[in-house]
Chain A
Amino acid sequence: MISLSINGKSYSIETQEDMPLLWAIRDIIGLTGTKFGCGVAQCGACSILIDGTLTKSCSMPVSYGIGKQIFTIEGSSSNLEFLRKAWNDGNVPQCGYCQSGQLIAATSLLDKIEIPTDEDIDKAMSDNICRCGTYTRIRKAIHEAVELKNDAI
C-alpha cells in the first residue's frame, strides 16, 4: 500500500513502485486532468508540482511521491487561479489538451518569479509543447496574470 498526498487529499493505492506518477494519478487514483503526451519528459503535458517543484510525472516513479505534497491541475492555488482567469480572459486554449501542463508550468514560474520577463517565460515554458500553437497567448496570459495579481493586492 502506497500513500500519496495530492492537492491536500490523501490517497492509499496498491501499485508497483516503479509505475510513473502520471499513470498512478490517472489510472489508479483517477485524476485524469494530468495528461500523457510523450512518456519521455519531452512535452510537459504531464506536468505536476511535487513539494512545489515542477516535475514531469511521466518520468518519475510513484515511490518518489511518497511523503511529498503533490499538486495537479485539479488543485487550486493563488497563482493558479490568477492564471486561470488570465487564460480565460485571453481565450488561450484551442484543443485544451496541453493546457493542464501549461498552467502547472506557469504556476511554477509565478511561484518562483513574481514578475517574469519574456526571457523568463521562454525558459520556464519551453518544455511544454502546444501542437495547436497557442504560445503567444500563453505568454500574454502569464503577463496578464501578474497584472491581475498586482491589481488584487
Chain B
Amino acid sequence: MSNIQQINRRDFVKLFGLASSGIILGCTISSDKKEFVPQTDGKFTPNLFVQIQEDGNIILLASRSEMGQGIRTSLASAIADELEADWKYITVQQATGNAKYGNQNTDGSRSVRTLLEPMRKMGATAKAMLITAAAKKWNVEESVCKAENHFIINKNTSDTFFFGDLVVEASKVAMPAEETIKLKKVEDFKFIGKTLKSIDLKDFTHGTATYGIDVRIPNMKFAAIARCPVTFGTVKSFDSSDAEKTAGVEQVIALDRIVPPTGQFFGALGGVAVVANNTWSAFKGKLNLNIEWNYGDNHSFDTDKFKETLTARLQENGKVVPGSRGNVSAAFSNSEKIIEATYHVPFLVHAPMEVPNATAWFKGDKIEVWAPLQDPQTARAEIAHFFEIPLENVTVNVTFLGGGFGRKSKSDFVVEAVALSKKINAPVQVVWTREDDIKHSFYHATSAQYLKASFDKKGNVSGWLQRVGLPSITSSFKPISDYASGLELNQGFTNNPYDLDNFRLENVKAEAHVRIGWMRSVVHIHSGFGNNSFVDEMAFAAKKDPVQFHLDLIGKDRVTVGRSNHSFNSKRMKDVLKNTAKNAGWGKSLPENHGLGVAIHYSFYSYVATIVEVSVKDKKVKIENIWTTIDCGLVLNKDNVKNQLEGAAIFGMSLALFGKISAKDGAVEQHNFFDYQMTRMKDAPKIHIDIMDKMHEPPTGVGEPGVPVMAPAICNAIFNATGKRVRSLPLVDFGMV
C-alpha cells in the first residue's frame, strides 16, 4: 500500500537544487525487487514528488526514463489532473537513480499501469492540502472549497485563491491520512483519457534536449573502445603506436572484462580504449589499433549452423512446460487431420538512434555518471559494487534517451565509462560507434519453433503441440541456463489466447553464444509470430475465414485469472479483432496482387489485433495499410497511445522485412544501417490506429503490445496475396523487399 509522506524541504532542495520556496509532497511505496524481464505481477514501488512554488509553478519529478514513450508527460498529467492544476504551470524534472523513488526500471510497458494510481493520489493529496489551507484563510469549512484550474474557490462567495498564494499556508498543513484521499471519477478527468502533447516538444524541435551523448563536463575526455569481435574474447596483445599517433588521441588503455557476479548486473566486455580530446579522434584512433585477440569459447559460433541445430532438436521431445493440459497424443491419434509447421526468427538488435554512451567521473571517493539509462538504479548498484564505493556516493543522472527498446536497460556501457575514468583520473564520455552497437549488443534471441495441431471429425481443433527453442535471457546472468525460463515462456507461449483442451508446450535446449538481452516486446515476438502464422495455416487447412477461425479458436467468453491483478478476458480479445476487421473492411474485394493478413496478441495485459494489407509486384512486397486496435484499459494520453502504436507498427515492419543479426566464426556479420536495415519513409504505409474505450478498466501496457502482431500479419497477408507461406524471418532473405 502506498504511504504518502511529507519530505523535508531542505532535503529536497539538497537533492535537486531547487531554490525557490514551496510545498513538497512525496509518495513512497515499499521497495520492489529488481526485475530483469517484464513481470506478470504488477507489484510496484513509485516514489514521486511534487513541488508547488509561490509563483504558481509546479515542478514534478519523473522517476521513469523518457525514451520516446512520453512518460514524462503522462505521469505529470496524472498528478496535474487530480491536483486541478493548469498545465501551463507544470515543468518536469528527471530523478536520479535512487531506490527511494521506488522501482525506476523503465521496461515491461509498466510505468503507467503501475504508477497511475500513486501519481493520482499524490495530486489529490496536494489538492486536499491546498483546500485545507484556503479554508483556514477564509475560516470556512473545507467542504465549501473546491479546486479548479490552479485556484481554490469558495463555493459560497466565489472568492478565489491562486495555488501559489496558498503555498505558505499549505506548508503548515498536516498530511491528510491516505484513506481520506478521494480520487476523481472518470467522467471528471481533465487530462486523463484526453490528449496532451509532449511536454518536451520545444526541446525536441530545437535540438536543445540533452541526450547522454550531448553531456559536456569541463575538461572531459572522449573515448572509443575496441572490443573483441567474438563475445567474451579477450585481448592477447596490442600495438597502440599508430593509434597514439592519431591527431587528438591522448592515451590508449587496456580494459579488463568485468564479470558480473551470480544472478545480477551486466558487467562490461573489456577491450582497448582510445582516449582523445574529441569523439572523432577516439573513433579514428580505435581504427588504428592493432590488436590480437583470444577469441575464447564462442569462436566457432555460426548462426546458420545454430539454426540447423535448433531445427533438428525440434524433431525430438522437449521438456514439457507447466501449463500444458489434456492429452495431446490421444487427440493426435484420434484426429481427422493433422497439420504441422516450423518457424524461425533470427537474432535481432535494438539499434536505438542514439548509440550506447555514458559520461563518468571517478572522483576517488565519489562517482558521478550521466547516461541514457532505462534502469538507473541497477547502474548505480552495479557501479557501487564493481568500484567498491558506497551506494550513497554514486550519483546516476538520467538524460533523455535517444531510443531505448531494452538496450539501455543494460548498464555495461556505463561500467566501461567508470572503469576508464578511474584509470585516466578525468571525466570521460565513452561513445559506441554504430558498428559497436550492432556487433556487441545484448541481442534479442533467435528462435525455432515447431507446431503441430489436429482437427477432429467435426473440424474443431482438438490438439496443439508447440516445441520452442530460444537462447534465454537468463544466460546473461549466472547460473547460466540453456533453456528458456518460465518468465519467457509465459510471454505468449503458455498463455496464448486460444481455448484449447489439449495443449502441450515443450522447451527445447538452446545455448547462448552471444549476450542475450530483451528487446521491445521480448519473447512475444516469437510467440506472436508462431501462434498467428500457424493459426492462419490452420484456417487455410480448414478452409475457413482466418478472422472467424481466430474468433472460434478464442472460443466462448471467459475470464482467466492469473497471478497478476489483470485477468485475461477472451471477450476483450475478440472485440479488438472484430473492431479491426470492421475498420479494415475485412472481406471486401481487393485489387489484384493485394492481400490481407490478420494477427492477434495479448501482451503486457493489453489486447491487440492487427490487419495488414500488402501488395506484391514482381515478387516485391509493399505494405499498403495497417489497421491496429488496442484495448489497454484506461487510456492516460490518447494521442500518445496512438503514436506508440504507429511506432510499434513501423518497428514490427523493420524486424519482419529486414531484421537479422547473423554470426560467422563467432563474430556478428552486420555493421551499420546499410546491412541492418530499418523501415524508411518510402516504406511507411498508412497506419490506422483505434483505441477501445475502456476508461473504467485498469490501464495496461502500451509501448510494446503493438509489435508482436506485425510480422505474422504481414506474412499472412503475403500468403493471402500470393499463396506463398513465409515461415522464417526476415523477408529480405527471400528477395521480397
Contacts and interface: CB of A to CB of B under 8 A. Distances in A.
A16 B248 CA distance: 9
Interface string A120-143: 011101111111111111110000
A122 B640 CA distance: 24
Contacts of B649: 133
A19 B647 contact: no
Contact of B278 (A23, A34, A38): A23
B604 interface: no
Interface in B195-215: 195, 197-198, 200-211, 213-214
A23 to B, nearest CB: 4
A94 interface: yes
B185 interface: no
B295 interface: no
Contacts of B433: 39
Interface in A1-44: 15-16, 19-20, 22-23, 26-28, 30-40, 42-43
Contact of B643 (A123, A129, A134): A134
A88 B651 CA distance: 23
Given A94-B68, A129-B353, A19 B402 contact: no
Nearest to A38: B434
B279 A26 contact: yes
Contacts of A132: 68, 353, 403, 647, 650-651
Interface stretch (B326-334, B418-426, B659-667, B677-685): B677-685
Q: By CB atoms of chain A within 10 A, which of B279, B283, B651 has the most?
A: B279
Contacts of A45: 353
A94 B686 contact: no
B672 interface: yes
B368 interface: no
Given A91-B643, A97-B402, A98-B353, A84 B205 contact: yes
B400 interface: yes
Contact of A131 (B403, B646, B687): B403
Contacts of A22: 280
Contact of A95 (B67, B283, B654): B67
A52 interface: no
Interface residues of B, number: 67
A13 B431 CA distance: 23
Interface residues of A, number: 57
Contacts of B644: 94
Contacts of A19: 278, 280-281
Contacts of B205: 84, 87-88, 93, 99, 103
A147 interface: no
B348 to A, nearest CB: 13
Given A84-B205, A91-B197, A135 B650 contact: yes
Interface in B396-413: 400-405
Given A95-B68, A122-B681, A40 B198 contact: no
Interface of A: 15-16, 19-20, 22-23, 26-28, 30-40, 42-43, 45, 72-74, 84, 87-88, 91, 93-100, 103, 121-123, 125-139
12 contacts: A37-B434, A40-B674, A84-B205, A87-B201, A88-B205, A95-B352, A98-B353, A126-B680, A131-B352, A132-B353, A133-B650, A136-B646
